[in-house]
């Protein structure tokens, strides 16, 4: 799972989230640092309104939160989601002595991104891809 900092960078770069069952997110507030939540058909459901998406917390009695605007949630994409977002630019994932290396094609060149875990390597590659598409 990627760190909050990388998830924040991806959001700031323009990555948008449409919540689906099984997605992981954090509430981007200092007092909830490290807490993770999972969208689920039973407990946390996305509700679409004309004004935006609201995450409804159903039956949570341990703390007082009924709903949360999706803009106040920090999506923590899974490894498979990050790989999927790379699309056709993704070339391969390789194990290294220190972790993992993701290779993508960007601007006609192969670019490499290394990290201790595959999800972070995918996330860094996606951040670079988004940055290149915005430029």
Residue-by-residue DSSP string for 41-59:
TTTEEEEEETTEEEEEE-S
CA atoms of 54 and 2, how far apart (whole Å): 23
- Where exactly are the structural domains of the chain? 4-75, 79-134
Mean residue pLDDT across the chain: 87
pLDDT at 67: 64
* Residue range 111-122, pLDDT digits in tens: 999 999 999 999
Residue 76's CB is within 10 A of a number of other CB atoms, namely 23
pLDDT at 58: 64
* Residue range 15-71, pLDDT digits in tens: 999 888 889 999 877 777 778 888 876 667 777 888 887 777 765 544 555 667 778
Higher pLDDT, 100 or 38: 100
Strand-pairing partners, residue 10, are none
**Overall average pLDDT of the 100-106 stretch:** 97
**Overall average pLDDT of the 76-82 stretch:** 97
């Amino acid at each position: 799972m990627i760190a909050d900092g990388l998830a924040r960078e991806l959001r700031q770069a323009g990555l948008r989230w449409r919540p689906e069952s099984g997605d992981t997110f954090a509430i981007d507030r200092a007092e909830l640092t490290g807490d993770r939540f999972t969208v689920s058909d039973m407990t946390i459901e996305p509700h679409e309104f004309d004004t935006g998406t609201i995450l409804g917390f159903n039956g949570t009695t341990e703390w007082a939160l009924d709903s949360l605007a999706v803009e106040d949630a920090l999506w923590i994409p899974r490894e498979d989601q990050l790989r999927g977002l790379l699309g056709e630019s993704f070339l391969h994932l390789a194990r290294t002595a220190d972790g993992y290396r993701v290779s993508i094609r960007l601007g006609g060149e192969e670019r490499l991104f290394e990290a201790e875990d595959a999800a972070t390597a995918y996330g860094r590659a996606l951040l670079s891809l988004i940055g290149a598409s915005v430029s």
